[in-house]
Each structure stands twice: as structure tokens, then as C-alpha cells.
């Protein structure tokens, strides 16, 4: 189970990464959120690691 502080960090990282990217529509945001949850579930909960995972997930989203 992810604690409240980690949930807040995940939301902050998600918002920050998706704000910076022009391709962050709902599908991309969902993909990034999923990757963040996966990363946090493995115990990687540092802000830097989460941001890296989020940016990597966003870069894998196809452009239209």
C-alpha cells in the first residue's frame, strides 16, 4: 500500500512532468501515472527516480 506522502509525491511528479510536455493528453497522462505507480510499488520513491520514470514513460507515447 502506498502511503499518503508518497501519493502526494506521485501526484506532484505526474503534474510536473505532464505540464512540461505538450503530448500529455489523457492517454499519455494515464501511461505516465501507471509507470509512476509501478516504480513506487518497487520501492523507488525518490523524486529523482520517479521523475526519470515519468519522463521515460512520456517519451514512449507516440506523437500524432
pLDDT of residue 23: 67
Domain definitions of the chain by residue range: 4-60
Taken in order 64, 28, 20, 41, the sign of the CA dihedral is negative
Three-state SS for the chain is CCCHHHHHHHHHHHHHHHHHCCCCCHHHHHHHHHHHHHHHHCCCCCHHHHHHHHHHHHHCCCCC
pLDDT of residue 24: 75
The tens-digit pLDDT sequence of the chain (64 residues) is: 789 999 999 999 999 999 876 667 888 899 999 999 999 999 999 999 999 999 999 988 777 6
pTM of the predicted structure, to 2 decimals? 0.87
pLDDT of residue 53: 97
Amino acid at each position: 500500500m502506498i502511503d499518503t506522502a508518497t501519493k502526494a509525491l506521485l501526484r506532484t511528479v505526474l503534474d510536473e512532468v505532464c505540464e512540461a510536455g505538450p503530448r500529455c493528453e489523457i492517454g499519455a497522462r494515464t501511461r505516465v501515472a501507471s509507470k509512476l505507480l509501478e516504480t513506487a510499488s518497487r520501492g523507488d520513491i525518490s523524486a529523482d527516480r520517479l521523475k526519470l520514470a515519468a519522463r521515460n514513460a512520456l517519451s514512449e507515447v507516440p506523437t500524432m
